[in-house]
Amino acid sequence: MENLVVNINGASITKEDLSELENLLDNTEGAELVSITSSNSFNGMEDVIIILSIGGGVAIKQLGAVFIAWINRDKSNKIKYKNFEASGYSSDEIIKIVKELEGE
Amino acid sequence: MNKVIKLIISTLGREHPTDLKATPERSQQYSDLFPEKKGFWKSLNSKSASDIAMNTYVEKVFKGNPWLEEFRDDFVFSNVFSNKESTKSIPIGESKSLIVLDSHIQKYLWMMNKSHLYGGFHMTDKDNIQLYAEIFLHFSSIIISNSKKAFPKPKTPSHKTKDEFYLLALHTEIQEVFLICHEIGHALIKSKKYQDKLDIISSSRSRHIEEALDLSGSSELVDEEIMADEIAFEMTLNVYGREKPEVVEMISTAVFLLIRYFLWLRVVYKTSEEDFEFGMWLSRNSFIREKVNKVYHWDSPVFLIMLLEYLEVRMEPAALIAKEFVDEARASGEL
């Protein structure tokens, strides 16, 4: 298992958002949620920092779908995974992109 | 540094490069001003400079605020090389917070301070307005395009005298210390653990929620930013001293400029639909003015009025010029 950190830029998180994301992640095979926090930037923007413990390629694809399904409600939010940033993609699109990133 | 913290930092930017150094021309200016440190300037790179700065700021913050020392282990400080505003405070578990200072903001402050100070000393209105406009264009285009396209970084004036350089360095240091204290402030606000310390910092708080409520629905967020600004102002005063009017004037000026720089950068690149940010910065601006009125107790802080009048002549017209260019670039698809 290794750690994965996902930073969702410019997103603020309510208790309802948090609960929904936690449920989605609980149902994702191979990924264990370690923590979700909000960061405070000097410019007033909040980012959501999600720390996961993951175990392999399958989890990455599923996670991509989970995050995009979650953030797609507000298309101005962005997701950053390693050097890749996505904004407002559909779940299918992000799975395709993540596959490319993972070399499949 | 632990692995998870490194991963978090990697989502914000990367480590400062060791192969990024001052240009030969700039290095020569530093060597001319400080010949006794010629070797130091030649060997200085982005990583060593940012590490020295961060370590210096952290030591000054804790020395000036000894009440914070018992919680020193609650904070992890890091700098990050980034192409966007990434200065922030992040809870990392076990009651700890990661405080990050980013190079994008540091570079912006340095260049804006040069334009303000060196431009004021040596440039005509017209040339200074042009320099400000080019700085606004460069940084706003980086933000808008996520670094894919950027108006070029302008050349800034040379360092001519030691006194001017010290003034520039001190203004910038005060602002960066304020940034670090602001982020510490968020950590102090969020945890019950520090609540009794907040009264050490300030026994009275003032808000400008009415102004924010007119322009946005998220007053709680603005409220917290203003609280963090208040904590930061008090902590910064503790670092440099609050007994001498000239010191308080310098701190007040540097912090006020910091807020104005951020506010006017938003004027350049934010669209009219994004009024929340304008509201937030206007509220923070109003708060800092009121705060200065309170801490500068020797007289009315006329220096702020004079500063505002001066900014109206040079910086603000430049922002409006830059805005026109940005709007055109957006309309044409260039940005």
- Inter-chain touch B8–A44, beta carbons under 8 Å: no
> Which of B233, B238, B211 minimizes the C-alpha distance to B223?
B211
Q: How far apart are CA B98 and CA B76, in angstroms?
A: 5
Query: Which residue of B4, B11, B264 to mutate against A (max A Cβ within 10 Å)?
Result: B11
Residue A27 near residue A65, CB atoms below 8 Å? no
Q: If 0-12 CB within 10 Å is exposed, 13-18 middle and 19+ buried, where does residue B48 land?
A: middle
**Mean pLDDT lowest among A33-42, A53-62, A79-88, B24-33:** A79-88
pLDDT of amino acid A99: 60
Inter-CA distances, B8 with A59, A66, A76, Å: 19, 20, 22
Cβ–Cβ < 8 Å for B68, B184: yes
- Name the pLDDT band for A92 (thresholds 50, 70, 90): low
Write down the pLDDT at residue A98.
Answer: 60
Sorted by sequence, the CB contacts under 8 Å of residue B297 that are 6+ apart come out as: none
Inter-chain contact A3–B3, Cβ cutoff 8 Å?
yes
Alpha carbons within 13 angstroms on the beta-carbon side of residue B316 total 10
pTM comes to 0.87
Q: Name the residue facing B88 among A12, A34, A41 (closest C-beta).
A: A41
Return the higher-pLDDT residue of B190 and B200: B190
Q: Are the Cβ atoms of A41 and B87 closer than 8 angstroms?
A: yes
Distance CA B206, CA B231 (A): 12
Report the candidate in A23, A51, A67, A68 with the shortest Cα–Cα distance to residue B5: A51
8 Å CB contact of A40 and B89: yes
Mean pLDDT, chain A, whole residue set: 69
pLDDT level of residue A78 (50, 70, 90 thresholds): low
pLDDT of residue B161 exceeding 50: yes
- From the DSSP assignment, how many helices (H) and strands (E) are in chain A? 3, 5
pLDDT band of B133, cuts 50, 70, 90 = very high
> Are the C-beta atoms of residues B105 and B87 closer than 8 Å to each other?
yes
Q: Is the pLDDT of residue B87 over 50?
A: yes
Q: Which two tokens stand for residue B236?
A: 């910064």
Query: For B117-132, how does the pLDDT look when each residue is reduced to its tens digit (9 = 90+)?
Result: 999 999 999 999 999 9
pLDDT at B203 over 70: no
Average pLDDT over residues B101-110: 97
**Per-residue pLDDT tens over the stretch B45-83:** 999 999 999 999 999 999 999 999 999 999 999 999 998
**Which tokens hold the place of B3?**
């692995």
Question: Within 10 Å of residue A22's Cβ, how many Cβ atoms?
Answer: 13
Looking at beta carbons, which residues of chain B come within 8 Å of A39? 88-91
Q: Dihedral sign, CA of B42, B43, B48, B54? A: negative
Q: For B266, which residue in chain A has the nearest alpha carbon?
A: A43
Q: How far apart are CA B215 and CA B199, in angstroms?
A: 30
Give the end-to-end CA distance of chain A in Å, rounded to a whole number. 20
How far apart (Å, rounded) are the C-alpha atoms in residues B97 and B48?
24
Nearest beta carbon to residue A43 from set B12, B91, B262: B262
Give percent helix, percent strand, percent coil of chain A, each to the nearest 5: 35, 35, 30
Q: Where are the alpha helices (DSSP H) in B146-194?
A: 162-190
B19 token code pair:
């192969």
Confidence of residue B196 (pLDDT cuts 50, 70, 90): confident
> CB distance A44–B228 less than 8 Å?
no
Q: What is the pLDDT of residue B210?
A: 38
Question: Looking at residues B140-168, what average pLDDT do you find?
Answer: 91
Residue B13 in this model has a pLDDT that exceeds 70: yes
Provide the ipTM. 0.84
More confident residue, B276 or B102: B102
